[in-house]
Chain A
Amino acid sequence: MAGTVQRTINVKLRVWRQPNRDTPGHFEEYEARDINTDASFLEMLDIVNERLIKENKDPIAFDHDCREGICGSCSMVINGNPHGPELGTATCQLHMRKFKDGDTITIEPFRARAFPIIKDLSVDRTALDKIIAAGGYISVNTGNAPDANSIPVPKADADEAFDAATCIGCGACVAACVNSSAMLFMAAKIAHLEKLPQGRVEHEQRVLKMVKAMEEAGFGNCSNTGACALSCPKEIKFETIARLNRSFLKASVKRRS
């Protein structure tokens, strides 16, 4: 574009390389040269990978799909932070202008017992699907789609449900948590359905089933560290977890009586 200053930087990468789940991994260093600062972080990795392919070396495996911050595929820990240093930003939306010339960038996979490593930076996040399968749905009769506005939803509830529904299921909350807990993810899914009349009916059952599924999948417990919410690219609020705790207490008391 006319008038814009083209800026490029050189950075050094320390990337976690691990051929598969059962082989121990290690860090390897790479130079990323002449990277346009308007490039996204994933584009920078693409450039490094193209060079590796040309040199007949194994490219760095990492997950990505939409590259516009909505699919939740991209998953890596950049200098200790899932999705990198910027609040409310997925890795694919992070740009190289956030880094300085000469920086060393450490890139690791999401680490959690529940997320086994497939290769390098790519991890298996099926465990999140198991939590959803346990109760993250509503039961409706099949047939024609119901009329969109047949059940009125108050605006405030719709807004809250929508805020929770923005969770893209990336698992950064698990990656950030010292305990690898999936509480923020689960709380977002539950809050999303709880606030809508269609989801309200099964709310308590859902809470009990999903919490059980989270434990069985090998995630840890919540220590209220707040790391999850800060790492969340969709800025799901920490309070969502408090709301889940309240729902769980209520559901447990009701089940008793």
Chain B
Amino acid sequence: MKYSLSSIGQKQIMAVTGLVWAGFVLSHMIGNLLIIAGPDVYNGYSHALVSNPLVYLAEAGLVLTLLFHVVKGIRLTIANRRARDTKYALTPNGAKSPRFQSRWMIFHGSIILVFIILHLLSFKYGPGIREGYITTVNGVEMRDIYRLVVEAFRQPGYMLWYVIAMVFVGLHLSHGFYSSFASLGFYHPRYSPILNKFGYLYAVVVALGFIVPPIYVYFVL
């Protein structure tokens, strides 16, 4: 039995790749809050990021981990559905209710995947300097990503889709964060319950933080 195809091995791969993305979304969320500080700060930050050669390494890491996460997630979900081939009329409830979001992971995950693809197309691979989205900050010419983001979030449909997608990111993390530590074998009688609560906090902070830019642009700016 190969580790990478074993039931526990696949879960541990999901856990590590999920945690990498959990780290990325937190830092990306904080970075995007800079939109409140205005165009120069936001553009300057984005420019500093994309002109750092290390960004290619980070991007390759993100693509690779997401690929593994998605492939393993789909494989596990298929195997799991197959293992329960007949349906119950009723499922565990009351004092025996399981963690609520745990059975929706493939559902949130699929929405997040669609989001990421559309998101990259509209922002990362969206109109740039050649299309006139250009600005100068402290004498340096750079892409006016601020203008692009603001134009996007001024459209109600766009703003709403981002808010909804971010709710799913939060729900995914609300189970995923804690779950990944269990998958990797972390358990401690005192710290595990704290970690569980921290997972919920992490999910709420990331989701709310991401909801700020679209709401701010649409309602405040």
Contact = CB atoms under 8 A, between A and B. Distances in A.
Contact of B96 (A81, A106, A179): A81
B9 to A, nearest CB: 7
Interface string B163-185: 00000000000010011011111
B40 to A, nearest CB: 45
Interface stretch (A30-38, A141-149, A247-255): A247-255
A248 B4 CA distance: 12
User: Chain B binding site: helix, strand, loop or mixed by DSSP?
Assistant: helix
Interface in B84-102: 84-99, 102
A27 B103 contact: no
A241 B182 contact: yes
B7 A211 contact: yes
A114 B178 CA distance: 28
Nearest to A24: B86
Interface string A213-249: 0110011111111110011000000110111111111
A71 B79 CA distance: 30
Given A111-B87, A221-B79, A223-B102, A215 B182 contact: no
Contact of B11 (A27, A86, A219, A221): A221
B77 to A, nearest CB: 9
Nearest to A220: B83
A220 B90 contact: no
B132 to A, nearest CB: 48
Interface in A175-216: 176-181, 208, 211-212, 214-215
B99 A224 contact: yes
- Of B92, B175, B183, the most chain A CB neighbours within 10 A belong to B92
B84 A111 contact: yes
A113 B185 contact: no
A112 interface: yes
Nearest to B82: A113
B1 A215 contact: yes
A108 interface: yes
A85 interface: yes
A77 interface: yes
B184 to A, nearest CB: 7
Given A178-B84, A249-B185, A81 B94 contact: yes
Contacts of B89: 14, 27, 80, 106, 108
A85 B94 contact: yes
Given A176-B96, A230-B97, A211 B8 contact: yes
A106 B187 contact: no
B125 interface: no
Contacts of B175: 224
A29 to B, nearest CB: 13
Contact of A245 (B11, B87, B90): B11
Given A108-B89, A112-B84, 11 more contacts: A27-B89, A80-B91, A80-B92, A85-B96, A176-B96, A211-B8, A212-B6, A220-B84, A230-B98, A239-B187, A243-B187
24 contacts: A85-B94, A86-B95, A108-B90, A113-B84, A178-B98, A180-B80, A180-B84, A181-B83, A218-B83, A220-B84, A222-B11, A224-B175, A226-B99, A230-B95, A238-B182, A239-B187, A239-B192, A242-B192, A245-B182, A245-B184, A248-B9, A249-B8, A249-B12, A256-B3
Interface of B: 1, 3, 6-12, 76, 79-80, 82-99, 102-103, 105, 175, 178-179, 181-187, 189, 192
